[in-house]
Structure 1
Amino acid sequence: MTDRGYEKSGAGANVVRLVEGPAIAGAPKRPLIQLDNLSKRYGGHTVLEGIDLEVMSGEVVAIIGPSGSGKSTLLRCINYLEPPDGGLVTIGDITLSAAIPASSTELARLRRSVGMVFQSFNLFPHMTVLRNISLAQERVLGRSRKEAEERSMQLLKRVGLGDKAGQYPARCSGGQQQRVAIARSLALDPQVMLFDEPTSALDPELGLEVLAVMRELAETGMTMIVVTHEMSFAENVSDTVMIMADGRIVEKGPSTEVMRNPQHERTKRFLRAVHDR
């Protein structure tokens, strides 16, 4: 990465911090997320290769592409659920290098900035909806139970589930459980939200409930990276669409341009298959 100064954040530390110089009038904003030459391998199989990506604050990036192209693995590498084998991951002013194993403290600091919503809801079945959202706030952020529950109720109302606070997950539909999972991630005040096919396990009607919440997040300026098979969301809600195939980015650009006038043959083939299905 050129024209950027770095320094270690402490003796033997793995976190590389941007060295802030004097503000320059008119200088371009730095991206909130930056990936440089990211790679991931499982044994002899390369899953990600040469991934370079910049995401600005407030930007919504949709990642689409065929199954097995590395989309979900990329998300998991961004928050180090899967440590990459090569490259740099920068979120805000923290950069982790794959060349140096990250400590648990460093990983906690990185992940503190990132919320992630998976295909499965991963709610605690023995806890109420309210408690599912409040627990991590108390453990991670040190909020009191009262503070955590107040914040949880704000978020439940935001996702349209204010009346479900006292229910257990089993009494909620799949779409409702996924909206609870989104509220739980938002409760930790992340800078970035990552979504890994959040509607793939839901029927179309319930999926629309989740997409409506995601659209509202986008409209209020949340930075989001979304792996999705929802082509309408990719075109109409995201700012940028990125096509992945065989572990690489084959095309990336403004959502309408990529979806309506793709340039790469692999992108054209994928979109034809989706539209002909």
Structure 2
Amino acid sequence: MGGAGYCVQGEGPNMTDRGYEKSVAAARGVRLVEEPAIAGAPKRPLIQLDNLSKRYGGHTVLDSIDLEVMSGEVVAIIGPSGSGKSTLLRCINYLEPPDGGFVTIGDITLSAAMPASSTELARLRRSVGMVFQSFNLFPHMTVLRNISLAQERVLGRSRKEAEERSMQLLKRVGLGDKAGQYPARCSGGQQQRVAIARSLALDPQVMLFDEPTSALDPELGLEVLAVMRELAETGMTMIVVTHEMSFAENVSDTVMIMADGRIVEKGPSTEVMRNPQHERTKRFLRAVHDR
């Protein structure tokens, strides 16, 4: 990922910010030409957020967020309730359209200043899988059908192909024997693992997790965390909003602390968790450890 660059045809290749570069190109009515990868060139991030903002009325929920996530990186986002963590995830996949800035996933860049087309949104969401606090499974469909349906509708796979892929993923998350069950017959931890398999079935480049264990008791939460750890070990790019401090420190590569709609600290997981530099981070971690 990230080996190719872009230049504005007729303008020269000296513009380096992909988000602004592409928006300027669109405004000028020129097209971007993908250049061949250059050996030794620095890798571009798989996810890039530039000056991302979100407001609800007079309340600013996200205040000029800049973030880069490299391919294969796992970023854990922690912080107090109401700090904008979940909203950030929803803006990345445009479930909540941002009010300002740019979102880039791979070779897709969307600008808040330009309404996204249905085609652009479909491409973006095809690249990004998301797992929510609630499982959002169809109760009238079997586990197998819950995972297969989107593959047929979105990817155009045949029912046979979709079911074969679904069974591979169910076995991967330890639920190969639950294919014919309905969600109500599965525990919360099992339902969340089905939801993860459903997201993986569309072959996303990125997985977003919004407090995936918050609705589960600790034992069932461990089942889900084990699957997420396995995904991390196999190189899946992940952004995880979590209150699981052990996961943040021991599984993620980077920890990012948010408060009041801003990133207050970000760095290697062990360093941030054990030796935070910002006073707001220190106060939050003290509160978590004192519980």
Distance in 2 between residues matched to 1:130 and 1:15, nearest whole Å: 46
**Root-mean-square deviation over aligned CA pairs:** 2.3
The Cα shift of 1:50 comes to: 1.0
The Cα shift of 1:22 comes to: 3.9
The Cα shift of 1:76 comes to: 0.1
TM-score if structure 2 supplies the norm length? 0.91
Distance in 2 between residues matched to 1:14 and 1:181, nearest whole Å: 42
1:168/1:178 Cα in 2 relative to 1: closer, same or farther (>3 Å)? Answer: same
Runs of 5+ consecutive residues of structure 2 not aligned to the other structure: 1-14
Counterpart of 1:137 in structure 2 is 151
Distance in 1 between residues matched to 2:28 and 2:35, nearest whole Å: 21
Query: What do residues 152-171 of structure 1 show as CA deviations (whole Å, max 9, x unaligned)?
Result: 00000000000000000000
Distance in 2 between residues matched to 1:208 and 1:14, nearest whole Å: 52
The Cα shift of 1:86 comes to: 0.2
1:226/1:178 Cα in 2 relative to 1: closer, same or farther (>3 Å)? Answer: same
Distance in 2 between residues matched to 1:216 and 1:17, nearest whole Å: 40
Query: What do residues 180-228 of structure 1 show as CA deviations (whole Å, max 9, x unaligned)?
Result: 0000000000000000000000000000000000000000000000000
Counterpart of 2:53 in structure 1 is 39
Q: Counterpart of 1:54 in 2: which secondary structure?
A: strand
Equivalent residue pairs, number: 277
The Cα shift of 1:148 comes to: 0.3
1:5/1:65 Cα in 2 relative to 1: closer, same or farther (>3 Å)? Answer: closer
Distance in 2 between residues matched to 1:177 and 1:17, nearest whole Å: 45
1:18/1:51 Cα in 2 relative to 1: closer, same or farther (>3 Å)? Answer: farther
- Preserved contact between residue 14 and residue 102 of structure 1 (Cα < 8 Å): no
- Preserved contact between residue 14 and residue 96 of structure 1 (Cα < 8 Å): no
The Cα shift of 1:88 comes to: 0.3
Query: What do residues 80-135 of structure 1 show as CA deviations (whole Å, max 9, x unaligned)?
Result: 00000000000001100000011111111111100000000000000000000000
1:10/1:100 Cα in 2 relative to 1: closer, same or farther (>3 Å)? Answer: same
The Cα shift of 1:26 comes to: 1.4
- Preserved contact between residue 25 and residue 31 of structure 2 (Cα < 8 Å): no
1:72 matched to 2:95: no
> Bigger CA drift: 149-158 or 22-31?
22-31
> Bigger CA drift: 13-22 or 36-45?
13-22
The Cα shift of 1:14 comes to: 12
Q: Counterpart of 2:208 in 1: which secondary structure?
A: strand
The Cα shift of 1:259 comes to: 0.2
Distance in 2 between residues matched to 1:159 and 1:78, nearest whole Å: 25
Q: Counterpart of 2:199 in 1: which secondary structure?
A: helix
Moved runs in structure 1, 4+ residues, more than 3 A?
1-19
- Preserved contact between residue 76 and residue 248 of structure 2 (Cα < 8 Å): yes
- Preserved contact between residue 127 and residue 206 of structure 2 (Cα < 8 Å): yes
Q: Counterpart of 1:48 in 2: which secondary structure?
A: strand
Q: Counterpart of 2:21 in 1: which secondary structure?
A: strand
- Preserved contact between residue 15 and residue 96 of structure 1 (Cα < 8 Å): no
The Cα shift of 1:38 comes to: 0.2
Query: What do residues 2-56 of structure 1 show as CA deviations (whole Å, max 9, x unaligned)?
Result: 4559776999799998643343221110000000000000000000001000000
1:18/1:79 Cα in 2 relative to 1: closer, same or farther (>3 Å)? Answer: farther
1:38/1:14 Cα in 2 relative to 1: closer, same or farther (>3 Å)? Answer: farther
- Preserved contact between residue 134 and residue 152 of structure 1 (Cα < 8 Å): yes
Distance in 2 between residues matched to 1:81 and 1:142, nearest whole Å: 23
Distance in 1 between residues matched to 2:197 and 2:27, nearest whole Å: 33
